[in-house]
Amino acid sequence: MNYKIQHIPKDTPYNRRPGLEMQAEYITIHSTANPRSTAQNERDWLVNKNNHRTASWHIAIDEKEAVEAIPLNEVAWHAGDGNNGTGNRKSIAIEICESGDRAKTVVNATKLVAQLLYEKGWGIDRVKRHYDWNGKICPRIFAKNNWENWRGFLIDVERELEALKKNKQEKIRILGKAQATAEQMKKYLLSINPNPKINCTVDELVSYYLEEGEIEGVRGDIAFAQSLKETGFFRFGGIVQPKQNNFAGIGALNNNGKGQCATFPTPRIGVRAQIQHLKGYATTEKPVQEIVDPRYQILIDKGLLGTAPYVTDLNGKWAWPGKGYGEGILKILNKILAVKVETVDYKKLYFSVREENKALRTKVEELRDRLSQIKKIAEV
Ligand SMILES: [Zn+2]
């Protein structure tokens, strides 16, 4: 599911974004009460001139995406419990859209709520209905049979939350020695995309990752997994063009046009820049080689050096908003590490060839004997 951040302006009329700081303690669920309005429509309505209401929300979600309209640490007006009500002042409002495929929408909402609870370390008791604050029958999509579906929704969210806790991946450091071999990296890439759009051979590219990583003390296999994620297995198709030798979207900000990002003269320099950028996030220690990463200085200026020692720390840093970014890299890394590469056991091979040799010699001797016997009988 896509998660878009489209904050409404601070001066939006009718005080819809008051800019009041909020330390949320709850999540409040609404449904839009409009069967035709998508998440994007809801977002657009917040800035529509014909809208004269002081009402807003944080996130709207439909069958295909979530749109965040107000930062989650600012107040929105949605709970109907007054200026200082707990619903308004202490809860994140989620509007579930009533448009489109309801089942898909509810699955998306379930995942979103579980993810928020997970990130905040909250339990299911933090999830409230609009109804809980002021008695309004909202979210009306769950209200039938004395809120039967609401109870079902909470059970699903809790199940999803438990799954997230269970799957919590082991923290993996960016710095260190590569664990995958060149052969595994190559084989995995070619199994997904046999024709990567790169300006060198796959063998060369893989060796650049391992060599440049080794020099800087960065795991080259992690950098490679990152590049597979960033370039769509070197199919490209986003902002970065294949000729740019930019394998991790360096300088490709969310709203940039095609080609509007860093370009490197050769694939090796592109890899080096990526490794240096990773190193910058992972440690305050300077790169060993001359700096070719055009954004390394930005890491220094923004105080980001050494702030992301683990792969999942890149979420919200290398990628924005970056939910699940590091986890995605680790998923690819695990697949690379699972690639089976046939290794030759030369000792075993020696003995088996020797056996075969011996058997053939015996056979040759047998044939020779038989030949001489036949020769005698035939008197040739
Ligand atoms: Zn509501």
Lowest mean pLDDT across 185-189, 220-224, 320-324: 320-324
CA of residue 26 to ligand 1 center, whole Å:
14
Ligand 1 center to 356 CA (angstroms)? 80
Q: Does the pLDDT of residue 24 top 80, yes or no?
A: yes
CB 310 within 8 A of CB 326: yes
Query: Are 321 and 368 within one domain?
Result: no
**Cis bond leading into 13, ω under 30°?**
no
CA of 140 to the centre of ligand 1 (A): 8
Do residues 161 and 273 both lie within one domain? no
**Long-range own/partner contacts, residues 241-249 (CB < 8 A, 24 or more apart):** 242/197, 242/198, 242/199, 243/199, 244/270, 245/199, 245/269, 245/270, 246/270, 246/273, 247/271, 247/274, 248/223, 248/274, 248/277, 248/318
Task: Establish if 152 belongs to a structural domain.
Answer: yes
Q: How sure is the predictor about 2, in pLDDT bands with cuts at 50, 70 and 90?
A: confident
Q: Are residues 77 and 201 in the same domain?
A: no
User: Tell me, what's the pLDDT at 28?
Assistant: 98
* Percent helix, strand and coil across the chain, each to the nearest 5: 45, 10, 45
Q: Does residue 176 fall inside a structural domain?
A: no
- CATH number of the domain where residue 71 is located: 3.40.80.10
Record the tokens describing residue 336, joined without a space: 């690379």
User: Residue 216 in contact with residue 328, Cβ under 8 Å?
Assistant: no
b/e string for 166-197 if b means 16 or more Cβ within 10 A? eeeeeebebbeebebbbebbbbbbeeeeeebe
Tell me how far the alpha carbon of residue 78 lies from the centroid of ligand 1, in angstroms. 6
Q: Are residues 145 and 117 in the same domain?
A: yes
CA dist list (Å): 19 to 46, 103, 130, 254: 15, 34, 21, 24
Q: Are 60 and 45 in a shared domain?
A: yes
Q: Rounded mean pLDDT of the chain?
A: 94
Q: What is the pLDDT of residue 346?
A: 84
Ligand 1 center to 196 CA (angstroms): 49
User: Residue 311 has what DSSP assignment?
Assistant: G
Looking at the DSSP bridge assignments, the partners of residue 319 are: 315
Question: How far is ligand 1, taken at its centre, from the CA of residue 142, in Å?
Answer: 12
Instruction: Specify whether 49 is located in the same domain as 120.
Output: yes
Q: What does the block give as tokens for 335?
A: 């697949």
What is the CA(60)–ligand 1 centre distance, in A?
12
174 within domain boundaries: no
**For residue 143, which of 86, 87, 77, 96 has the smallest C-alpha distance?**
96
Distance 321 CA to ligand 1 centre (A): 26
Indicate the residue among 302, 317, 337 that finishes a domain: 337
> Does any domain span residue 33?
yes
Among 280, 283, 285, smallest CA distance to 295 is for: 280
Q: Domain boundary residue among 111, 143, 167?
A: 167
Q: Is the preceding omega at residue 265 within 30 degrees of 0, hence cis?
A: no
Tell how far the Cα of 9 is from the centroid of ligand 1, in angstroms. Answer: 22
How far from 33 is each of 38, 104, 137, 140, 142, CA to CA, in Å? 11, 17, 10, 7, 12
Range of the domain at 372: 344-380
Residues 107 and 157 in one domain: yes
In this structure, the answer to whether residues 20 and 150 fall within a common structural domain is: yes
Give φ, ψ of 321 to 5 degrees: -70, -20
Q: Yes or no: say if 30 and 93 are a contact pair by the CB < 8 Å rule.
A: yes
CB burial readout 19-56, b (16+ within 10 A) else e: eeebebebbbbbbbeeeebbbbbbbbbbeeeeeeeebb
Give me the mean pLDDT over the 106-134 stretch.
95
Say which residue, 128 or 378, is predicted with more confidence. Answer: 128
- Contact at 8 Å (CB) between 227 and 278? no
Question: Could you report the per-residue pLDDT of 13-23, keeping only the tens digit for each?
Answer: 999 999 999 99
Distance CA 63, CA 56 (A): 20
Based on the fold, state whether residues 49 and 192 are members of the same structural domain.
no
Q: Which helix (H) or strand (E) holds 31?
A: strand 26-31
pLDDT band at 314 (very low <50, low <70, confident <90, very high): very high
Ligand 1 centre to CA of 101 (Å) is: 20
Measured in Å, residue 130 CA sits from the centre of ligand 1 at: 5
Span from the CA of 86 to the centroid of ligand 1 (angstroms)? 14
CB 298 within 8 A of CB 276: no
Cα 45 to ligand 1 centroid, rounded to whole Å: 16
> What is the DSSP secondary-structure string of 97-113?
--SS-HHHHHHHHHHHH
pLDDT in tens, 157-210: 999 999 888 766 567 889 988 999 999 999 999 999 999 999 999 999 999 999
Number of independent structural domains in the chain:
3
Each residue of 232-267: pLDDT tens digit?
999 999 999 999 999 999 999 888 999 999 999 999
Cα 96 to ligand 1 centre (Å): 9
pLDDT at 169: 57
Q: For 263-296, how does the pLDDT look when each residue is reduced to its tens digit (9 = 90+)?
A: 999 999 999 999 999 999 999 889 999 999 999 9
What Å distances lie between residue 112 and 25, 66, 312, CA to CA? 16, 8, 18
User: How far apart are the CA of 151 and the centre of ligand 1, in A?
Assistant: 17
One domain for residues 279 and 316: yes
Tell me the CATH number at 203: 1.10.530.10
Report pLDDT for 58: 98
Q: How far is the CA of 79 from the centre of ligand 1 (A)?
A: 7
Q: Is residue 203 part of a domain?
A: yes
Q: pLDDT, tens digit, for every residue of 36-51?
A: 999 999 999 999 999 9
